[in-house]
Amino acid sequence: MQDPNDVIVQAADGFVKDVAEELDITLSRTYELLGKDNPYPKTWRILRAIGRKNPDGLRLIQSDFNRRCEALLSDLPITTVARVNKELHDVTQSELENMSTAQRRTEILQAITVLQSRLAHLDSEERT
């Protein structure tokens, strides 16, 4: 697992202005929300406590979260085979170039994300 702050920063990288416009807040406020005081780590603190005290409650949250994410992601453009190829190439290159563990981890996580997107598209084709 990655540090929750790092996940937020990676997810927003290159899209901060778009996120600010979507939320209708200033760019500086968006950077504030994405900084060390962002709600993601705080949420994980709460989830850990719920998971220890009520595992079924955490499973309910996980299920709801997954459904909400899937609803948001279902209308996105199709991930192309070229994008999948690029991401897998980046993983291979990071290994061949013996990049740092953090860099290799990042490349692998990015490839997983693209592969999950491609898999979701294939699953939706299968259902139709």
* Per-residue pLDDT, 125: 76
Q: How confident is the model at residue 1 (pLDDT cuts 50, 70, 90)?
A: low
pLDDT for position 20: 92
Spans of all domains in the chain: 77-128
pLDDT digits (tens, 9 = 90+) for 34-67: 887 788 888 888 999 999 999 999 999 999 998 8
pLDDT tier, 128 (very low <50, low <70, confident <90, very high otherwise): low
pLDDT attached to residue 27: 92
What pTM was estimated for this model as a whole? 0.58
Q: Pick the residue with more confidence: 97 or 116? A: 97
Q: What are phi and psi of 117, to 5 degrees?
A: -65, -45
**What is the structure's pLDDT at 35?**
83
3-state secondary structure of 3: coil
Q: Mean pLDDT across the chain, nearest whole number?
A: 87
- Nearest CA to 6 out of 90, 117, 106 is that of 106
pLDDT at 116 exceeding the cut of 70: yes
> Which residues have C-beta within 8 Å of that of residue 104, sequence separation ≥ 6?
91, 94, 95
- The per-residue pLDDT for 103 is 92
DSSP 8-state assignment for residue 35: S
